[in-house]
C-alpha cells in the first residue's frame, strides 16, 4: 500500500505556496496516496479538480476559534480513511500546533515558503520556535533562508535545502499570438521587458517603473503580470512618469508561460524573496534575468553568467543593466543559454520531486508506526 501524505495549507490563493504544493501533489501522486486539507480560496479550483481526498477547514484569519478545532477534527476524519504516514505543512508554522495535537506520533514536515513585509524576521523566528517544538524536518527553498533559520536557532539537523522547481513549459504559439493581440504587443519590432509578481511593496515594482522611465526607445515595452493591493497606485505612478503608454498591466493570468514566451528580458526587482517561481519559469524558457541581491535571487541568477544582479531600491543601476541588455542581442543570447542550463541543473521540477520524495521516505522511516 502506498504511504499516505497529508498536505495541509493555510489558504488556497494564487501564490507561490499553492503553485508548489500543486506541483508536488501532481508529481508525487503516483508514488504516494496524497490527501489535502485547506480552506477555500481563489486558487481552490485547480486543487478541487485533482482526484485526491480533500477537505476544508475555516481559515484561521477569519475565525481562529472555529478553525483550530475544525482542523484537528478534519485530520482525524482523514486518518479514518487511511493511516496517515506523514503530514506536510506548508507556509504557516502555527498550523503545526493543531497538527501535533491531532496526531502526536505522525511525523511533520514543514516547508517555510518565505515571508514578506515588515514582520518577516519575526515570522522566521516564530517558524524556528514552532519547528523546534513540532517539526521532524524543515524544507528551505533557498540557501539564504536555510542560513537565516539556522542563525535564528532552528535545529540544523532538521533543516533541508530543496529549491523550488518548475516544469519546462509546453508552449502554444497560437495562444502567445492571442496574447500579443490582447495586450497590443509586437515581439518582432519591440523589445519586451517583463515581470510576474504580486502587486505589493515587497516586489519592488515602483523601482522597476522608475528604472523603465529612464530607458529611451519607443520600441520598448514593460509587461507586469499579476494583481494585488498596489495595482491602482502603480498604474497611477506609470502615468505620472509618462510611461503608461508603454507599460502593460495584465492582471492575474493562468497562462503565464505563453505570455513569458514574448519577453526578451525578465526582471525581478524584489525587496524580499525566497526562491522565485517566476524567475525559475523565466530560466526554463531561456530568458536573461535582471534581479536584486535579496534572498534566493542571487542563487537563481548567476551574475554576469545568466543575467545581472543589482541592489534593491536602486532604479539607476536597474536601468543601467537593463539598458546594457537591450543594446546587446549577443549578451542576451549568452545569458539565455546559460540560464536554461542553470535551470536544468538546479531548478527543474524533476529535481524538486526527487529530493522531496527522498525526504518523505527518510522522515517516514524514522517513525515507522504512525497512529
For 256-313, write each residue's pLDDT tens digit.
999 999 999 999 999 999 999 999 999 999 999 999 999 999 999 999 999 999 999 9
**Per-residue pLDDT reduced to its tens digit, 303-323:** 999 999 999 999 999 999 999
**Per-residue pLDDT reduced to its tens digit, 135-161:** 999 999 999 999 999 999 999 999 999
Could you tell me the pLDDT band of residue 369, with boundaries at 50, 70 and 90? low
Pair 275, 337 in one domain: yes
Pair 296, 322 in one domain: yes
Pair 195, 302 in one domain: yes
Residue 371 belongs to a domain: no
Question: Is a pLDDT exceeding 60 seen at residue 370?
Answer: no
Q: Are strands 247-251 and 137-140 parallel, antiparallel or unpaired?
A: unpaired
Range of the domain at 79: 4-165+349-366
Residue 113 belongs to a domain: yes
d(CA 279, CA 347): 10
Pair 161, 31 in one domain: yes
Partners of 110 in beta bridges:
89, 138
Pair 233, 316 in one domain: yes
**Per-residue pLDDT reduced to its tens digit, 205-256:** 999 999 999 999 999 999 999 999 999 999 999 999 999 999 999 999 989 9
* Helices 277-284 + 16-28 axis angle, to 10: 60
- Count of structural domains, the chain: 2
Pair 275, 355 in one domain: no
**Per-residue pLDDT reduced to its tens digit, 185-199:** 999 999 999 999 999
Could you tell me the pLDDT band of residue 371, with boundaries at 50, 70 and 90? very low
Residue 102 belongs to a domain: yes
In the sheet that holds 137-140, the strands lie side by side as 53-55, 33-37, 4-8, 86-90, 108-111, 137-140, 159-161
Looking up residue 308, the CATH number of its domain turns out to be 3.40.50.2000
The angle at the Cα of 48, spanning 283 to 107, to the nearest 5 degrees, equals 80
Amino acid at each position: 500500500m502506498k504511504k499516505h501524505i497529508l498536505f495541509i495549507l493555510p489558504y488556497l490563493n494564487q501564490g507561490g505556496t499553492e503553485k508548489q504544493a500543486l506541483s508536488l501533489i501532481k508529481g508525487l501522486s503516483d508514488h504516494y496516496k496524497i490527501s489535502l486539507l485547506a480552506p477555500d480560496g481563489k486558487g481552490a479550483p485547480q486543487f478541487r479538480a485533482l482526484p485526491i481526498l480533500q477537505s476544508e477547514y475555516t481559515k484561521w484569519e477569519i475565525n481562529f476559534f472555529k478553525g483550530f478545532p475544525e482542523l484537528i477534527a478534519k485530520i482525524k476524519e482523514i486518518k479514518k480513511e487511511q493511516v496517515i504516514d506523514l503530514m506536510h505543512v506548508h507556509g504557516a508554522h502555527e498550523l503545526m500546533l493543531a497538527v501535533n495535537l491531532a496526531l502526536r506520533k505522525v511525523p511533520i514536515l514543514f516547508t517555510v515558503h518565505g515571508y514578506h513585509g515588515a514582520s518577516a524576521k519575526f515570522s522566521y523566528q516564530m517558524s524556528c520556535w514552532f519547528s523546534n517544538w513540532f517539526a521532524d524536518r524543515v524544507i528551505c527553498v533557498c540557501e539564504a533562508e536555510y542560513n537565516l533559520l539556522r542563525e535564528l536557532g532552528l535545529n540544523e539537523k532538521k533543516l533541508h535545502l530543496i529549491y523550488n522547481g518548475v516544469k519546462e513549459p509546453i508552449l502554444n504559439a497560437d495562444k502567445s499570438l492571442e496574447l500579443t493581440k490582447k495586450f497590443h504587443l509586437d515581439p518582432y519590432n519591440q523589445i519586451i521587458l517583463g515581470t510576474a509578481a504580486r502587486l505589493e511593496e515587497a516586489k519592488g515594482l515602483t523601482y522597476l517603473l522608475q528604472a523603465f522611465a529612464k530607458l529611451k526607445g519607443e520600441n520598448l515595452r514593460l509587461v507586469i503580470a499579476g494583481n494585488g493591493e498596489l495595482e491602482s497606485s502603480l498604474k497611477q505612478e506609470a502615468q505620472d512618469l509618462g510611461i503608461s503608454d508603454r507599460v502593460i498591466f495584465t492582471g492575474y493570468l493562468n497562462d503565464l508561460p505563453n505570455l513569458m514566451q514574448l519577453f526578451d528580458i525578465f526582471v525581478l526587482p524584489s525587496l524580499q524573496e525566497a526562491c522565485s517561481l517566476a524567475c525559475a519559469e523565466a530560466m526554463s524558457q531561456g530568458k536573461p534575468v535582471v534581479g536584486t541581491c535579496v534572498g534566493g535571487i542571487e542563487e537563481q541568477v548567476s551574475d554576469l553568467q545568466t543575467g545581472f544582479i543589482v541592489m534593491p531600491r536602486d532604479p539607476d543601476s536597474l536601468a543601467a543593466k537593463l539598458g546594457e541588455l537591450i543594446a546587446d542581442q549577443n549578451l542576451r543570447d549568452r545569458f539565455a543559454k546559460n540560464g536554461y542550463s542553470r535551470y536544468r541543473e538546479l531548478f527543474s521540477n524533476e529535481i524538486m520531486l526527487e529530493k522531496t520524495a527522498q525526504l518523505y521516505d527518510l522522515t517516514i522511516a524514522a517513525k515507522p508506526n504512525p497512529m
